[in-house]
A = this chain, B = another copy of it.
Amino acid sequence: MQLEIICTGDEVLTGKTINTNFSYMSQKLSDVGLSVRWETTVGDDRESLLQAFQLASQRADAVIVNGGLGPTIDDLSQEVAAQAAGVELVLNDEWLVRMEDFFRRRSRTMPPNNKKQAMLPVTAEVIDNPIGTACGFALDIGKARFFFTPGVPRELRRMLEEQIIPRLLAKSGLQAIIHLKRFHSYGLGESHVDTLLTGVEALVPDGSVKLGFRAHYPQLETKLTARGADMDDIRRKLEVVELEVRKRLGNFILGEDDQTLEGVVLAELAGRQATLSIVEMFTGGQISARVAHLPGAERIFRRGIVARDLAEVCAAVNLGSAAPEGELTQTAEAVARAALRLTSSTHALAVLIDLDQGADRIEFGGTICLAVATAGKVESRRSRILGGREWVRLGAVELGLDCLRRYLQGLPVYERTDFEKA
């Protein structure tokens, strides 16, 4: 079944409102195996609306239209729907009563312009909106079934889940289910992972598992989209590919599906009733900020210490106020150990950075020296990242958290990433 979505409204078209209704709908639909093929956004403009309805009716079997069911003159969906279907707009007495009742229950009188919301195309099937005055409806335009939904997010959500998805599933007949499996990694670039995973799709010969990526530096998401008759079929198909992806990407996989790096770190710490302190410099508090606010972190995150100057970092953990001589990696180890003593936490992470001098530029870099300390043990790692201030900062935050994850999971803290200079 070809499925499209049309989003309407000047607010969305001008970018004033970020179109979260669309991403919500598309995700919800794909969760039940219905994939959206095409999305169109047009403004509160009669001609564009008509054209969008007509084009979608030629391509799709089903179309969800969002917005334009309100009481004001710029809400045009019912009117243009009737025009596109070539039918009359008539007053729906039942919906009018529902609306008057809606206002009465809130001790208000219905303003006259709300009556417009009960004007529906004569062939329309009413789709209930139990929490608002915008009347949902469905009708055929050309070969496609159109579903009209309100722009108010909570009204849309309820209508989509309770009313529209069941109708779409019925209309689609027995369709294959689709499932998305995700792996999150840090340290390997998209093209590198693409090369590493050459051939994994072919492990399922019928082509029902597709490989894709979403790069959001410093992390990369590797996606397997699987089609099957049911979830058992999908699990069977995915199993062999998942194993292979885990094998090839190895320690670089920091989490799967809804897991986050900071969530994995927190769970590892929670599992051993540990407490954590973090010392940072140029990352300016961002490493702490990823962990400290999470639900449950109040029992685990003990102290965050930030300073831009190395002597100040040392002073802050009672290491004396003079910047120490020698290797920054050794200093990071000393700082992590000192933080452990100062805060009485079981784990300490220190991420120190020796930043390049001068103005920001693409070759601007930093040398990151980090250490993770526990009672009897300290591990450290040195890394040089180039790519501008922001790039170095983002990279250092991720590297710090990922090395902590590796430490907690018993993996090597040092493993070369694609983002660093040798």
Contacts and interface: CB of A to CB of B under 8 A. Distances in A.
**How often does this chain occur in the complex, in copies?**
2
Interface in A1-38: 10-11, 13-20, 22-28, 30, 35-38
A329 B203 CA distance: 62
A41 B12 CA distance: 14
A51 B43 CA distance: 21
Nearest to A214: B11
Contact of A35 (B14, B39, B41): B14
A387 interface: yes
B39 A48 contact: no
A113 B213 CA distance: 15
Interface string A377-404: 0000000001111000100000000000
A171 interface: no
Nearest to A133: B191
28 contacts: A13-B26, A15-B30, A17-B23, A18-B20, A39-B40, A39-B42, A40-B40, A44-B212, A70-B190, A70-B215, A71-B190, A73-B194, A105-B363, A106-B387, A111-B191, A113-B194, A113-B195, A131-B362, A284-B297, A284-B304, A285-B285, A285-B289, A285-B304, A289-B289, A298-B309, A303-B305, A304-B304, A304-B305
Interface of A: 10-11, 13-20, 22-28, 30, 35-44, 48, 51-52, 55, 59, 70-74, 105-108, 111, 113-114, 130-131, 152, 180, 189-192, 194-195, 212-215, 282-289, 291-293, 295, 297-298, 301-309, 312, 316, 360, 362-363, 386-389, 393, 418, 421-422
